[in-house]
Amino acid sequence: MKIGFISLGCPKNQVNCEQMLWQAHAAGHEIALEAEDCDLAVVNTCGFLQEAKQEALDEIERLCTLKREGRLGRVIVAGCMAQRYREEIETLCPEADGFVGTGGYESIAQVIAETEAGKRPHHFGDIDAAVPETDRVVATSDHWAYLRIAEGCDNRCSYCMIPSIRGKFRSRPMEAILEEARSLAECGMKELIIVAQDITRYGLDLYGRRRLADLLQELCQVEGIAWIRLHYLYPDEIDDALIALIAKEEKIVKYLDLPIQHISTKILKAMNRRGTGEDIRALLTKLRREIPGLVLRTSLICGFPGETEEDFEELCVFLREYRLERAGIFPFSLEEGSAAYTFPDPVEDEVKRRRLELLTEIQLDVVDAYCAAQVGKSVLLLCEGFEPESGRYVGRSYAESPDIDGCIYIEGEEDLIPGEFYRVRVTEAVDGELIAIREEA
Ligand code: SF4
């Protein structure tokens, strides 16, 4: 059978999808990254926020339309949305042929076989089971890949449903991660992007202590890997040893994704986040001091219940002062089943929208100033390939994480090699994107 896979949502979902691709391939199926003209399509959904649920439902509707038109055989709904709404998923997706939850990814070959036999299977599995050590087909790129080091989360932020969708925090054994890293390097990967819901907690469940620094030290020894990028560090778990390691190890890029969510201590407390606004400010100052050239990414929520004009103003002042180079800003989303669902003092939608606009404006100014400051600088860039629409090669420096940050366009080059590193000089900044020319080799 020809089976198409579509992955929605975050990098962790992407890894699950890549593992399902491998299992379908190992079961003898032809695999594709699109649904049309396939015998079956698997859509790996996100279910974290209402917006993600809607995106998943829209995609499922698109697939079911293809099915009705005879351009697709069957549809399997997998992942976070199926897991979160498992009781009502059949009603939500009446035309889908099978369902796989976040604890059931390993059963995908069986689910495919059951749909072929005319059944309508549900495989939800155990969301707290050990992380499956399944092979995968990397579908992101030939030169960078996500490396998932843990699954689930124990943090219980009051707005977040992830612990109930993805289970408790479970680290992968260090040897399994290193083996995967070596095999990715052998396949030509140059950059590994370390992901988990909270990478700073790595090892606590398996080894009784946090071992992210140990793991990173080992990963730096993997031959062929040039860049190691860290996504999703919980602020209060970043200790001095980890900071020193990041500063010292050349392979660990000076880019950290540190979701802080807010800066008002009152709101952080209501969010059930550990630490205060002062702790976050002190950490950021320390990180900037200890890691020269550091680029910081964060995510922020505005309009959380009880957020007053004063709390919001504190967030605006913080963004202007601390000038984080990258920020994802989201309006609070009321999620049924989360602790915050019943919180008093909701912020009106109109106010939430205005706050989101204001924060976005502030952040755009920060990004523009950052980009303007890059002009004239010499940077090492990983070539991503040729972009036909712009007629130019594109690449990323350590400051751009794939898929979420912009890229750097390289002018006047006709034969660069994707996956190779080049030194370029930034010549211009346009709407948050950088333009560069190659320096003499
Ligand atoms: S750290 Fe908080 S926001 Fe992030 S996945 Fe865990 S509970 Fe959700």
Confidence category of residue 426, pLDDT binned at 50, 70, 90 = very high
CA distances to 1, 270, 416, 428 from 436, in Å: 45, 45, 14, 7
Contact 410, 392 (CB under 8 A): yes
Q: Is the four-CA dihedral 61, 65, 71, 72 of positive or negative sign?
A: positive
So what's the pLDDT on residue 440?
A: 73
The share of the chain scoring above pLDDT 90, in percent, equals 97
Range with the lowest mean pLDDT among 267-281, 364-378, 411-425, 427-441? 427-441
So what's the pLDDT on residue 142?
A: 95
CA 418 to chain centre: 23
162 lines ligand 1 (CB under 6 A): yes
Return the residue whose CA atom lies nearest to atom 1 of ligand 1. 155
State pLDDT tens for residues 370-423.
999 999 999 999 999 999 999 999 999 999 999 999 899 999 988 999 999 999
Q: Which residue among 48, 157, 204, 273 is best mutated to probe the pocket of ligand 1, counting the most ligand atoms within 8 A of its Cβ?
A: 157
Distance separating alpha carbons of residues 15 and 21, to the nearest angstrom: 10
- Indicate the DSSP class of residue 49: S
Distance separating alpha carbons of residues 388 and 416, to the nearest angstrom: 14
So what's the pLDDT on residue 204?
A: 97
Distance separating alpha carbons of residues 83 and 164, to the nearest angstrom: 9
- Residue 405: both structure tokens together: 């940050």
Distance separating alpha carbons of residues 354 and 331, to the nearest angstrom: 10
State pLDDT tens for residues 157-198.
999 999 999 999 999 999 999 999 999 999 999 999 999 999
Confidence category of residue 360, pLDDT binned at 50, 70, 90 = very high
Q: What is the CA radius of gyration of the chain?
A: 22
Contact 164, 170 (CB under 8 A): no
- Output the CA 269–ligand 1 centroid distance in Å: 14
340 lines ligand 1 (CB under 6 A): no
Return the residue whose CA atom lies nearest to atom 4 of ligand 1. 197
Span 263-272, average pLDDT: 98
Span 290-295, average pLDDT: 97
Please determine, for residue 40, whether its predicted confidence score (pLDDT) is greater than 90: yes
Distance separating alpha carbons of residues 103 and 92, to the nearest angstrom: 20
So what's the pLDDT on residue 431?
A: 86
Q: What is the pTM of this model?
A: 0.94
Span 18-32, average pLDDT: 97
Strand order in the sheet with 326-331: 144-148, 191-195, 227-231, 252-257, 295-302, 326-331
Return the residue whose CA atom lies nearest to atom 2 of ligand 1. 157
Distance separating alpha carbons of residues 28 and 118, to the nearest angstrom: 19
197 lines ligand 1 (CB under 6 A): yes
Span 323-329, average pLDDT: 97
- Residue 124: both structure tokens together: 């939800």
Q: Are strands 392-396 and 408-411 parallel, antiparallel or unpaired?
A: antiparallel
Please determine, for residue 326, whether its predicted confidence score (pLDDT) is greater than 90: yes
So what's the pLDDT on residue 414?
A: 87
Rounded to the nearest integer, the mean pLDDT of the chain is 96
Q: Which residue among 151, 155, 258 is best mutated to probe the pocket of ligand 1, counting the most ligand atoms within 8 A of its Cβ?
A: 155
So what's the pLDDT on residue 117?
A: 95
So what's the pLDDT on residue 441?
A: 65
Which domains occur in the chain, in start order? 2-125 (3.40.50.12160), 144-372 (3.80.30.20), 375-438 (2.40.50.140)
156 lines ligand 1 (CB under 6 A): yes
198 lines ligand 1 (CB under 6 A): yes
CA distances to 25, 61, 85, 170, 342 from 157, in Å: 38, 32, 20, 17, 14
Distance between the two ends of the chain, CA-based, in angstroms?
Answer: 48
Please determine, for residue 341, whether its predicted confidence score (pLDDT) is greater than 90: yes
Q: What ranges in 223-331 are assigned the alpha helix state H?
A: 240-248, 265-270, 277-290, 309-322
